[in-house]
Amino acid sequence: MRFLKEPEYSHGKIAKTAVVLINLGTPDAPTTSAVRRYLKQFLWDRRVVEVPRPIWWLILHGVILPFRSGQSAKKYASVWTKDGSPLKIHTQKQASLLKGYLGERGHEVQVAYAMRYGSPSIPDVLQKLKQDGCERILILPAYPQYSATTTASNFDAIAQHYQQVRNMPELRFVKNYHDNDGYIQALKLSIMNHWQTHGRPEKLVMSFHGLPKAFLLRGDAYHCECYKTARLLADRLGLGKDDYVVSFQSRLGRAEWLQPYTAPTVIKLAKEGVKRLDVVCPGFIADCLETLEEISMEVRADFLKAGGKEFNYIPCLNESPAWMRALAEIAEQHLIGWPTMITASVREEQKQHALISRAEAKRLGGEA
């Protein structure tokens, strides 16, 4: 086995601690070629698609990539900004703000972000942290609800990278935070702020990313954790069972996925006489193609075409202060025991970094 080049070892060198925020990923550009590269990496992951490899290779290269890449590129182009991919922009801001929030809480840590598919890749980020002297690394997924297709896939990529490393760092993994009090409270505040401006809907739809039903039957915890998030959020909002609906979006292929599906759900509600509908996506902590295009454009059109009159998409948590505080608390809970506390002088420097980060986020259109 060929090992990666190690940084020069120095006795007595102070080991650093890092937090890596990992999101799913995004193409480098809204072009057919870039989307094709992204989909090829994403859909070849054995955690994502469990079809036997020879059969799936033929389907992927013979059907999906040739036809889906161009279609998806148009969708990405519809949400792309002058600064790039919304998902990447929000994840980058969150990582920067997280460093400041942790600094305010007294922790001296490096904070980086990585993408499971696309760039910056997990191996590149981990190797950079090693070069920087980080010997303790906390992996923080951008997925509140655990699934083998997301959180466990991160682990696979990390494990594969460290097979090439002689001197591994100490690793910790956050599995989930679907029922974390700060996360639920941040969702509640986001929805309440929206309602204060736009009024309350007749029905609230909580749309989570879908998953093949077979994965649930094989033991994936995702479905149950989505429903627990929804129940806790509804309780916090004071909603009754008839006030909200849980649904699942982004179905791929012909196999049965978790139901009810989001698009048919909103069409059914419109045909039943619901005129005002709000949709929130609690499983996404940053706005992306699935929220900005699929929900805010496609599902909106479905609802209005079916007879609905008003459709509101409630944005993801993104860089909201309540969410960034909650994310810092989640990270802090998993940093316990590591020597991350900083001196008063360094703490003041961290506070200044936090102020600068928030000002930069606000300049770029964030909510921090």
Binding-site sequence positions: 209, 290
| Residue ranges of E strands in 250-368 | 276-280, 310-314
Closest to 276 in 3D by CA, of 188, 186, 195, 189: 195
Torsion sign across C-alpha atoms 30, 34, 40, 41:
negative
Rounded Cα distance, 102 and 349, in Å: 12
Enumerate the known binding-site residues for Fe(2+): 209, 290
- For residues 335, 339, 340, 342, the Cα torsion angle rounded to the nearest 10 degrees is 150
Rounded Cα distance, 343 and 346, in Å: 5
- For residues 156, 158, 161, 162, the Cα torsion angle rounded to the nearest 10 degrees is -110
Phi, psi values for residue 103, rounded to 5° = -65, -40
Rounded Cα distance, 256 and 241, in Å: 25
* Tally of CA atoms within 13 A in the half-sphere of 211 that contains its CB: 24
Place of tokens 């954790």: 225
Residue 323: CB partners within 8 Å, gap ≥ 6? Answer: 182, 183, 186, 190, 285, 317
Query: What letter would DSSP give residue 12?
Result: T
Is 229 in contact with 179 (CB distance < 8 Å)? yes
Rounded Cα distance, 176 and 146, in Å: 5
| Residue ranges of E strands in the chain | 16-25, 110-117, 134-141, 170-173, 203-209, 244-249, 276-280, 310-314
Phi, psi values for residue 85, rounded to 5° = -65, 130
**Please, is 217 exposed, middle or buried when counting C-beta atoms within 10 Å of its C-beta (0-12, 13-18, 19+)?**
exposed
